[in-house]
Amino acid sequence: MIRALILGIAASFFFAFTFILNKQMNVSGGSWLFSSSLRYIFTLPLLFIILLIKRDVLDVVKNIIKSPLKWVVWSTVGFGLFYAPLSFAAAYGSSWLIAGTWQITIICGALMSPLFFKTVETDKGSIKVRNMLPKKALLMSLIILIGIFLMQFEQAKGDILNVKTFLGISAVIVGAISYPLGNRKMMELCGNDLNTFQRVFGMTLCSMPFWIIILFSGVLSVGMPGESQLIEAFIVAVFSGIIATILFFKATDIVKNNTRKLAVIESTQSGEVIFTLLGGVLIFHDKAPMILATVGIFLVVTGMILNSIMEM
């Protein structure tokens, strides 16, 4: 469990580059259509080279052939419907605000537990039992939810019906539901047949139809991406698309048979808020949070820590 926690926190550090650089690309006039699609388009050949060296590509192809529709659907949900809305949301708030709101994925992941089953050995053989809601994790998640509300309330300047706030929150919620859902469905589909690298590569490959559509939509609507956006998207691809994703998926793989521990590992992503805040404000001069938002950030991180302590 300790190893999984360390991997999860490390993943949150590298995931923070997503929020920081997506905001910078948006400020520089880059389209979210490129920010999202280029990350995965750049990630695919890098992962392919890694697996080619390890001679692990063929096993992925064979696994995809067994259930091609499920691979495409859940890869598109887990990667496409997660990252495209998150990139879109970058236009509606500071990087730390999007990172903070993103932590609603912790609650979404916990609420999804009853949708999945675990195998239990009995005197009559193996049976599948529906997972229970991790009630303690959900209780701690309420602290995170209150923190998110405070951050968004300040951003909207007290007007919770602010259109920009609504668009930003809606986009993040779509991504927050899609990421744990796609990840868990793919863990269920792959079982122990593929390692973390293979699963990430397979999901990236099977989400390509979605990303190609997004890319061409960007070309048709705003023209070709600029050089700076290409460079920043490549950095995101390496740091978030490969390093962070593999670290996080490895962490979830370690505890995948225990929904309570899985919820805790998913909660380590709250570390993104701190890393994004430090990087955005100190390096890229992002707008710093005011008092109410600072309290919100404190509650988000506190909820994560309490959640982790309960299950250790």
Helix axes 245-254, 196-206, angle to 10 degrees: 120
Query: Which residues contact residue 219 at a Cβ distance below 8 angstroms, ignoring those fewer than 6 apart?
Result: none
What gap in Å lies between CA 219 and CA 207, rounded to an integer? 19
pTM above the 0.85 mark? no
Q: Average of pLDDT values for 55-68?
A: 92
Interatomic CA distance for residues 81 and 208, integer angstroms: 12
Using the predicted structure, report yes or no on whether residue 43 has a pLDDT greater than 70. yes
Q: pLDDT tens digits, residue range 108-142?
A: 777 776 666 565 656 665 666 666 666 666 777 77
Mean local confidence (pLDDT), 183-212: 90
pLDDT tens for 235-287 read 988 998 888 888 887 887 887 777 667 767 767 777 777 788 777 777 767 67
Domain ranges of the chain: 2-311
8 Å CB contact between 271 and 74 = no
pLDDT for 45 beyond 90: yes
pLDDT in the model for residue 57: 92
Closest listed residue to residue 262, CA positions, set 76, 116, 119, 71: 116
Long-range contacts of 51-59 (CB under 8 A, 24+ apart): 51/197, 51/198, 51/201, 54/197, 56/195, 56/197, 56/198, 57/201, 59/193, 59/194, 59/198
Whether the per-residue pLDDT at 106 is higher than 90: the answer is no
Predicted local distance difference test score (pLDDT) of residue 33:
93
Beta strands in 115-160 (DSSP E): 117-122, 125-130
- Residue 282 has a pLDDT of 77
More confidently predicted of 260 and 6: 6
- Stretch 60-79: mean pLDDT: 94
Q: What is the structure's pLDDT at 116?
A: 63
CA atoms of 14 and 202, how far apart (whole Å): 21
Task: Give the pLDDT of residue 132.
Answer: 67
The encoded tokens of residue 253 equal: 């793989």
pLDDT of residue 206: 96
Tokens 């701190």 belong to which residue? 274
Residue 181 CA to residue 231 CA, distance in Å, equals 30
Q: Which residues contact 130 (CB under 8 A, 6 or more apart)?
A: 114, 116, 117
Q: What is the pLDDT of residue 311?
A: 55
Give the residue, 157 or 193, on which the prediction is more confident: 193
Cβ proximity of 15 and 272 under 8 Å: yes
Percent of the chain with pLDDT over 90: 24
pLDDT at 312 over 60: no
Q: What is the DSSP letter of 116?
A: S
